[in-house]
């Protein structure tokens, strides 16, 4: 069910090349619920919207939904008779792939709220499934299920679930649901309820489902029953789910998007959901400002001042976070216990996040950004703002691995100890390091490749061990970085 890195890359390329029948490529919020000229570019068929409560995730979701005229704007942006006067000049611009309108280019459409009414000229139609937060509310608390408390069975049709619903819901829930059924009103199939079954064939209605069980089955059933090329919108994808189920569910969403040519947008507060997606697929919204990249849920707490510390460091990804934390713990005398490191996505996102942090008048904690050195171009003499610096020259994983490779013979006994490789001879370790070096693989998977050569010993152990060795032997590398963190202050 999980897409391979190659499949994920091909999906990103498919979006880049506009190889969809229908797709929302960009949405620009000119003045909507506190957003002013924020543009979100959707680069992957599945997009996660993360952020603080009230940060704007649902606003973005709604702005994407009204790209199609069969969705009523009032469903997402209702106007009360009192308090919503600011809606008078709201504007949402959308860039769309719409092959039925233009085969060789994208098209733009603008939605405006004018004279107490949304104006949307020549907007296309598209099948849209909006899967609201109510899916996790127990059936007994929802009005739509009351008709199942009594009634005539002759008015309903009882059938088996869609084969793909059974297949994928079973995988997500880790529970066999092949004997589950769906009960639908004959005259209105949208009036429906699911019926479960125990391993001993004892039946029970949706009134007795767990919240996660009902949510997964209904959501997957709606997605599998949707038209190809549909737009799927999901509020708080993790609600009612165990973290393992969240990860499996996001894997399923990517699988379904690829199979059915869907575009899926969901809001979430779950780091487990974010971790299953490429950086291109994650947008963070904090106080009506947006960033693209794997801005971690933990880092959101730092931006909003919820993480107690005296210094904050933003880096690009999990590897550099581990590398930097190790160095601060080893060399950061005076700041080691009070400095927090957060992954904030790639460049330039990491710089923008740190800048937003330092410009926030409510925060008195300084922050810096450490930018991977692989984007540095000596011929252009690139510069960074005062609160940012380059971390070496080259990809961080390569910096660590190349040092280990260059000194492998004198370090091999230490590598064997620190990376928990005691079951291997030193010759085998040296041979594996040489093989990985010869393969010239993607730097981001160096440690996974080495793990494979060493009988799949944990790549986590290998990475942590080599980081520790590099830092122990290279205090000169970290000295200017530690000084930079210590000296940086909000003026």
Q: Encode pLDDT of 227-243 as tens digits.
A: 999 999 999 988 888 88
Q: Encode pLDDT of 56-112 as tens digits.
A: 888 999 999 999 988 888 888 877 766 666 677 788 999 999 999 988 899 999 988
% of the chain at pLDDT higher than 70: 90
pLDDT given at position 239: 84
Is 0.75 surpassed by the pTM of this model? no
* Residue 490 predicted with pLDDT over 50: no
Q: Report the mean per-residue pLDDT for the chain.
A: 86
Domain edges within the chain: 5-131+230-285, 136-224, 295-491
Give, as one character, the DSSP assignment of residue 1.
Answer: -
pLDDT given at position 136: 61
| CA pair distance 490, 469, nearest whole angstrom | 34
Q: Where are the beta strands (DSSP E) in 170-319?
A: 181-185, 192-197, 203-205, 231-234, 263-268, 282-286, 289-292, 311-315
Q: In the structure, what pLDDT confidence band is assigned to residue 271 with cuts at 50, 70 and 90?
A: confident
| CA pair distance 441, 459, nearest whole angstrom | 15
pLDDT given at position 139: 62
Give, in order, the Cα–Cα distances in Å from 20 to each of 40, 71, 131, 242, 374.
18, 20, 22, 33, 32
For residues 24-57, one letter each, b for 16 or more C-beta atoms within 10 angstroms of the residue's C-beta and e for the rest, the string is bbbbbbbbbbebeebebbbbbbbbbbbbbeebbb
Mean pLDDT of 412-428: 92
Q: Encode pLDDT of 165-209 as tens digits.
A: 999 999 998 888 888 888 888 888 877 888 887 776 778 877 878
Mean pLDDT of 12-32: 92
The dotted CATH code for 5-131+230-285 is: 3.40.50.300
């Amino acid at each position: 069910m999980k897409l391979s890195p190659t499949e994920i890359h091909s999906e990103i390329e498919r979006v880049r090349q506009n190889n969809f029948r229908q797709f929302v490529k960009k949405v620009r919020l000119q003045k909507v619920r506190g957003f002013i000229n924020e543009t979100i570019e959707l680069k992957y068929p599945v997009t996660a919207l993360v952020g603080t409560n009230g940060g704007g995730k649902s606003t973005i979701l709604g702005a994407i939904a009204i790209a199609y005229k069969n969705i009523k704007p009032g469903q997402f942006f209702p106007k009360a008779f009192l308090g919503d006067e600011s809606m008078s000049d709201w504007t949402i611009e959308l860039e769309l792939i719409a092959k039925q309108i233009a085969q060789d280019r994208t098209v733009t459409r603008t939605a405006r709220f004018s004279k107490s009414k949304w104006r949307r000229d020549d907007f296309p139609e598209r099948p849209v499934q909006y899967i609201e937060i109510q899916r996790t509310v127990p059936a007994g608390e929802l009005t739509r299920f009351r008709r199942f408390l009594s009634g005539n069975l002759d008015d309903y049709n009882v059938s088996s679930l869609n084969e793909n619903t059974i297949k994928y819901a079973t995988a997500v829930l880790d529970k066999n649901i092949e004997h589950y059924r769906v009960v639908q009103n004959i005259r209105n199939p949208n009036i429906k309820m699911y019926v479960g079954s125990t391993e001993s064939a004892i039946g029970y209605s949706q009134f007795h489902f767990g919240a996660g069980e009902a949510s997964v089955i209904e959501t997957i059933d709606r997605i599998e029953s949707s038209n190809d090329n549909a737009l799927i919108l999901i509020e708080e994808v993790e609600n009612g789910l165990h973290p393992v189920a969240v990860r499996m569910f996001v894997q399923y969403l990517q699988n379904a998007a690829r199979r059915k040519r869907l575009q899926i947008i969901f809001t979430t507060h779950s780091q487990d959901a974010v971790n299953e997606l490429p950086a291109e697929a994650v947008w963070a919204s904090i106080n009506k400002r947006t960033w693209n990249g794997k801005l971690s849920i933990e880092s959101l707490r730092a931006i909003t001042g919820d993480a107690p510390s005296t210094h904050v460091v933003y880096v690009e990804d999990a590897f550099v976070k581990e590398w930097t934390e190790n160095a601060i713990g080893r060399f950061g005398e005076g700041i080691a216990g009070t400095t927090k490191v957060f992954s904030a996505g790639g460049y330039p996102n990491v710089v923008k996040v740190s800048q937003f942090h330092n410009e926030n008048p409510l925060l008195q904690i300084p922050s810096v950004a450490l930018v991977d050195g692989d984007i540095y171009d000596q011929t252009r003499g690139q510069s960074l703002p005062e609160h940012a610096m380059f971390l070496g020259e080259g990809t961080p994983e390569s910096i660590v691995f190349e040092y280990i490779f260059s000194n492998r013979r004198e370090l091999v006994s230490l590598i064997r100890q620190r990376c928990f490789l005691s079951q291997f001879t030193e010759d085998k370790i040296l041979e594996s390091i040489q093989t990985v070096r010869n393969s010239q693989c993607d730097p981001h998977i160096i440690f996974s490749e080495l793990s494979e050569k060493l009988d799949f010993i944990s790549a986590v152990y290998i990475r942590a061990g080599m980081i520790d060795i590099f830092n122990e032997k290279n205090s000169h590398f970290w000295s200017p970085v530690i000084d930079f963190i210590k000296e940086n202050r909000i003026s």
